[in-house]
Amino acid sequence: MQGISLDEHPDRAKAFIGLVPQEMNFNIFEKVINIVLDQAGYYGITRADALPHAERILKDLSLWEKRDEPAQNLSGGMKRRLLIARALVHQPRVPLLDEPTAGVDVELRRGMWDFLRALNASGTTIILTTHYLEEVEQLCSRVAIIHKGEIIKEGSVKELITGLNSVTLLVDTKDPVLLANMELLRGYPVTKVDDTTLEVKLEHGQSANDLFRKLSSIGIAVMNVRNSGSRLEEVFVKLVGKN
């Protein structure tokens, strides 16, 4: 870790790591600020030296106003953010986050994404373990898929998705799609989700542009196109199924 042998100097090497566990493991009766500052003390950082950085982190995570509250008074999402603040107070080079957004609402999750993006842009390498594959697509530059303790595939998100032989699209139409229109789309595996939504599976080599031209030629006006679920999730299911 950072050129320091974990075998020869374990304490020095571990100081470069910050761990955000999945489970809450702090004293719920302690004040928020004390939980963060006490963590800095484990790394030999005095409270006076740690306070400015702790204040900055807690403000970035919208927890500063709760600094004198016992942790038990925090919401579930705030407790998640407190875990992150505690792990970052000693300014680790490699924070390891285990399911950091598990159980939090959509707005809070996206706020945490923004925080993690900014942290990564500042030069910090982040290792993220998560089952939210949308989160992986949004945040990660490199991905490793682990199954039964072994890495079965790794690469960039783009590299992993490129290996798919098909893509499933949801197509929103301007007007209701009639049964007669469906008969004219036999060249593509099309399923009618509702009156104005089609699910189309494009196999490898089939062009989305050709599909849109076909829809236009039979009088179907396309209003919106989106992926059906996470494409990385398709990769995961495909790989894990093989193994």
Q: Give 23-71 pLDDT, tens digit per residue.
A: 899 999 999 999 999 999 999 999 999 999 999 999 999 999 999 999 9
* CB environment 86-125: b (16+ within 10 A), e (fewer): bbbbbbbeebbbebbbeebeeebbebbeebbeebbeeebe
Distance CA 37, CA 52 (A): 10
Quick one: which of 71, 8, 4, 7 has its CA closest to 39? Answer: 71
| Range(s) within the chain of domains with CATH label 3.30.70.1560 | 162-242
Q: What single letter denotes the amino acid at residue 127? A: I
In the prediction, which pLDDT does 193 show? 76
Q: How far apart are CA 101 and CA 136, in angstroms?
A: 12
d(CA 83, CA 42): 15
- Overall average pLDDT of the 131-153 stretch: 88
Q: What is the pLDDT of residue 229?
A: 59
Q: How far apart are CA 65 and CA 228, in angstroms?
A: 41
The overall pTM is greater than 0.95 = no
Interstrand relation of 94-98 and 17-20 (parallel, antiparallel or unpaired) = parallel
Sheet with 222-227, strands from edge to edge, namely 190-194, 197-203, 166-173, 222-227
Give CA–CA dist 173/170, Å, rounded: 10
- Band (pLDDT 50/70/90 cuts) for residue 124 is very high
Domain 10-130 -> CATH class: alpha beta
DSSP secondary structure code for residue 231 in this structure: H
Distance CA 219, CA 156 (A): 39
Question: What is the model's pLDDT at position 211?
Answer: 75
Q: Which residue has the higher pLDDT, 71 or 167?
A: 71
Q: Which two structure tokens, joined as six digits, stand for 236? A: 């995961």
Residue predicted with more confidence, 206 or 216: 216
pLDDT at 153 over 80: yes
Between residues 102 and 202, which one has the greater pLDDT?
Answer: 102
Phi, psi of 154 (to 5 degrees): -150, 155
**Residue 217 has what pLDDT?**
77
> Please, where in the chain does CATH 3.40.50.300 lie?
10-130
CA atoms of 188 and 171, how far apart (whole Å) = 13
Q: Domain 162-242's class? A: alpha beta
